[in-house]
């Protein structure tokens, strides 16, 4: 029990930014647009939130600014993809690179440092963010499965012709999905920096990329990404805790969460292919 409690507690903390990023990325994935800019959007949210908190000391203003800043980057991403017809993957990578460099440049101008920016940390944020994230998952489930917006969003991927026949432009839903991705990533990024009271360049540390994996591990369903995010966070929390207890090279321990993700993805692929083959066999044989 002494080991389990800190591991689970750490997992819940690690899960929060991943859950926000994957929840945002879920909207764009359902619309048929894979948003690989989640990493950069998290980083922008982290930097802007701490910067605003440094000058204002207001948590609400900090989180709001982070969400708006990441949404603005998503709007730039959407404009480049849908109006300028740029490749969505190249544009997503550009957002990731731009956010990383821009944070350092602005940090140098505002705080006279290209490294760590510190402010006082805020106690009790983890519980608030976790409650909000869980509530958000339920709201997203309702929106996707019980509203006209959700039905149309899912139709953008495979039934866009049906939307056109109704006089609905699927592109508007794709753009909206990207903006939602940015908004939620901004909130997730704000937790990264406000919870610690510090901004470190690159502090998103691959969580945006993990969020992409979580979306597909969770079968592109809200309840699925909740479970997948917790599993990965639990693996990372265990690896952090294990570094001081096992005589195993640190590189192997740090790679443990990614190894778990890879194993789960391969397993799901095998199970999915087996299920499809069984269905095809059943249709052929009539059983």
The per-residue pLDDT for range 89-108, each reduced to its tens digit, is 999 999 999 999 999 999 98
- pLDDT computed for residue 225 by the predictor: 92
- For residue 268, count other CB atoms closer than 10 A to its CB: 15
261 or 183, which is more confident?
183
What ranges make up the beta strands (E) of 172-270? Answer: 198-199
Q: Is residue 243 part of a domain?
A: no
Q: How far apart are CA 20 and CA 71, in angstroms?
A: 14
Average pLDDT of the residues in 30-56: 93
For residue 285, pLDDT over 80 is answered with no
In a domain? residue 169:
yes
Most confidently modeled range among 2-11, 230-239, 259-268: 230-239
Inform me whether the pLDDT recorded for 53 exceeds 90: yes
Note the pLDDT tens digit of each residue in 206-244. Answer: 889 889 888 988 888 999 899 888 888 888 887 777 665
Q: Is residue 38 part of a domain?
A: yes
pLDDT exceeding 90 applies to what percent of the chain?
44
pLDDT at 120 over 80: no
- Mean pLDDT (the chain) is 85
- The pLDDT score that the predictor gives to residue 247 is 62
Instruction: Write down the pLDDT at residue 255.
Output: 66
Residue 57 belongs to a domain: yes
∠ CA 216-220-226, nearest 5°, is 85
Fill in the DSSP letter of residue 102: H
Q: Is a pLDDT exceeding 90 seen at residue 21?
A: yes
> What is the chain's length?
287
Tell me whether residue 74 is in a domain.
yes
Number of folded domains that form the chain: 1
Half-sphere exposure of 63 (CA within 13 A, CB side): 15
How much is the pLDDT for 99? 92
Euclidean distance between CA atoms 227 and 234, whole angstroms? 10
pLDDT of residue 277: 67
pLDDT, position 94: 92
Which of 23 and 243 is assigned the larger pLDDT?
23
Q: pLDDT confidence of 1, banded at 50, 70, 90? A: low
Residues 6+ apart with CB under 8 A from 204: 17, 39, 40, 42, 43, 46, 189, 192
51 in a domain, yes or no? yes
Say which residues have a Cβ less than 8 Å from residue 18's Cβ, sequence separation at least 6.
Answer: 188, 207, 210, 211, 214, 229, 232, 233
Query: Looking at the domain assignment, is residue 232 inside a domain?
Result: no
Q: Tell me, yes or no, whether 269 lies in a domain.
A: no
Confidence (pLDDT) at 42? 95
Please write the tens of the pLDDT for every residue from 153-164.
Answer: 988 877 777 778
Q: Regarding predicted confidence, which is higher, 228 or 124?
A: 228
Beta strand pairing call for 198-199 and 117-118: antiparallel
Question: Containing H/E element for 201?
Answer: none
CA atoms within 13 A on the CB side of 168: 16
* Pair of tokens at residue 134: 């869980």
24: tokens are 């945002």
- Structural domain of 111: 9-212
Quote the pLDDT of residue 67: 96
């Amino acid at each position: 029990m002494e080991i389990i409690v800190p591991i689970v507690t750490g997992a819940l903390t690690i899960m929060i930014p991943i859950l926000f990023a994957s929840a945002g990325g879920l909207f764009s994935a359902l619309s048929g647009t894979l948003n690989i800019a989640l990493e950069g959007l998290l980083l922008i949210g982290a930097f802007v939130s701490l910067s605003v908190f440094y000058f204002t000391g207001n948590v609400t203003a900090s989180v709001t600014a982070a969400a708006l800043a990441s949404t603005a980057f998503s709007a730039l991403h959407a404009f480049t993809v849908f109006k300028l017809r740029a490749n969505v993957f190249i544009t997503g990578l550009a957002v990731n690179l731009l956010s990383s460099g821009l944070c350092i440049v602005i940090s140098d101008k505002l705080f006279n440092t290209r490294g760590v920016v510190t402010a006082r940390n805020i106690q009790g944020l983890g519980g608030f963010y976790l409650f909000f994230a869980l509530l958000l998952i339920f709201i997203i489930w309702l929106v996707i499965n019980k509203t006209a917006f959700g039905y149309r969003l899912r139709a953008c991927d495979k039934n866009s012709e049906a939307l056109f026949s109704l006089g609905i432009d699927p592109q508007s839903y794709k753009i909206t999905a990207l903006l939602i991705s940015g908004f939620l990533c901004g909130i997730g990024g704000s937790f990264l920096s406000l919870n610690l009271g510090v901004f470190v360049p690159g502090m998103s540390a691959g969580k945006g990329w993990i969020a992409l994996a979580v979306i597909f591990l969770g079968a592109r369903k809200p309840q699925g990404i909740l479970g997948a995010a917790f599993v990965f966070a639990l693996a990372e929390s265990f690896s952090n805790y294990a570094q001081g207890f096992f005589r195993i090279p640190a590189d192997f321990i740090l790679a443990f969460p990614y190894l778990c993700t890879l194993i789960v993805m391969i397993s799901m692929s095998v199970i999915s292919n087996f299920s499809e083959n069984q269905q095809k066999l059943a249709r052929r044989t009539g059983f």
